[in-house]
Amino acid sequence: MASQSLFFLHVLAIFSLTSLAFSASLSPYYYYRICPKALPTIKRVVEDAVRQERRMGASLLRLHFHDCFVNGCDASILLDQTATIDSEKTALANNNSARGFEVIDRIKSEVDKACGRPIVSCADILAVAARDSVVALGGPSWRVPLGRRDSTTASRAQANNDIPSPFMDLPSLINNFKNQGLNQKDLVALSGGHTLGFAQCFTFRDRIYNDTKNIDSNFARQRQSSCPRSGGDSNRAPLDPTPAFFDSKYFSNLVAKKGLLRSDQALFSGGQTGNLVNTYSANRWIFSKDFANSMIKMGNIKPLTGSRGQIRVNCRKVN
């Protein structure tokens, strides 16, 4: 028991050092003095939302990812369309797909009430909600570096350009992540986010009808039964066999050629990413540790700090 807690302390120390190395300005203790109730409040609302619908945890995790990949983790994804805001909500990867905005609104209003004023940014709320979602669904925890501020702009064009597509091959995926300062290990570990949630038929139709070599034929047939050749575009299928549990089945599934998206299965086609898929499929602890580290790295993409940006009062609108 004693050696186990020592071990965990050691792991925590490594996580904290890693986050320091990646970011000079964000800190896990940012709200510690100015609003000690901030983090417990976010956790409570996320747990409540996940209790009502397990999938919401998946949706909140994905929101943070789609925020960070477009001009950094600045809550740009939360801004509604106006005459001057080019909303990212209707970008290809988000339209009729990104969800959880009402939960973020509820967190924001409860956090502002708990703190007595709007001091917690929407970008930090996204980062903490992603972590709390993963924990609520049985995944690892990590200390989220905080102190991000919110953007005053959004860009649908940038979202269309920067959010990876499920039709990408391995070199394109590697390059897409590299453009964000993320390496092949980050790509594989973070793709493990697909241990949670669902995808719509139009995102995997081409794979289940046209891929022949890299797909288990029983799996393809099974998926075809709820995703016809034409029509049923929005019919959903789970991204792994246990979409409400954070486990390593996503990876063992790839080894069995049962990845749902072409971009998932592409990770298991040799090279360094193939080796990582094998490692993660066999060892959930290594996956969890690498996932937590890569989440911190992703959360550190181009944050607005100091006097840049603002703390929004309403996450959907610029102040």
Ligand X SMILES: *[C@@H]1O[C@H](CO)[C@@H](O)[C@H](O)[C@H]1NC(C)=O
Q: Residue 200: which H helix or E strand, with range?
A: strand 198-200
Residue 67 annotated in ligand binding: yes
User: Rounded to the nearest whole angstrom, what is the least distance from the CB of residue 266 to ligand X in the complex?
Assistant: 17
Three-class DSSP category at 282: helix
Rounded-to-integer distance, Cα 151 and Cα 128, Å: 18
Joined together, the tokens standing for residue 185 give 């290990």
Of 42 and 103, which CB lies nearer to ligand HEM in the complex structure?
Answer: 103
For 313, counting Cβ atoms within 10 Å of its Cβ (0-12 exposed, 13-18 middle, 19+ buried), the class is middle
Q: Is 35 one of the binding residues for ligand HEM (CB under 6 A)?
A: no
Residue 153 annotated in ligand binding: no
Residue 88 annotated in ligand binding: yes
Of 75 and 190, which CB lies nearer to ligand HEM in the complex structure?
Answer: 190
Rounded-to-integer distance, Cα 240 and Cα 243, Å: 6
Joined together, the tokens standing for residue 100 give 């959880």
Known active-site residue 66: yes
Out of 25, 52, 95, 226, name the contact with ligand X by CB under 6 A. Answer: 95
Cβ–Cβ under 8 Å, residues 99 and 177: no
Task: Single out the residue of 156, 176, 185, 138 nearest to residue 81, CA to CA.
Answer: 156
* Ranges within 177-196 binding ligand HEM (CB under 6 A): 190-191, 193-194, 196
Of 190 and 208, which CB lies nearer to ligand HEM in the complex structure?
Answer: 190
Using CB under 6 A, which of the segments 4-12, 55-63, 137-145, 247-255 binds ligand HEM?
Answer: 55-63
Residues in CB range of 222: below 8 A, 6 or more apart: none
Q: Is 242 one of the binding residues for ligand HEM (CB under 6 A)?
A: no
Q: Which residues are catalytic?
A: 66
| Binding stretches for ligand HEM (CB under 6 A) | 55, 58-59, 61-62, 65, 97, 99, 164-166, 168, 173, 190-191, 193-194, 196-200, 203, 239, 261, 263
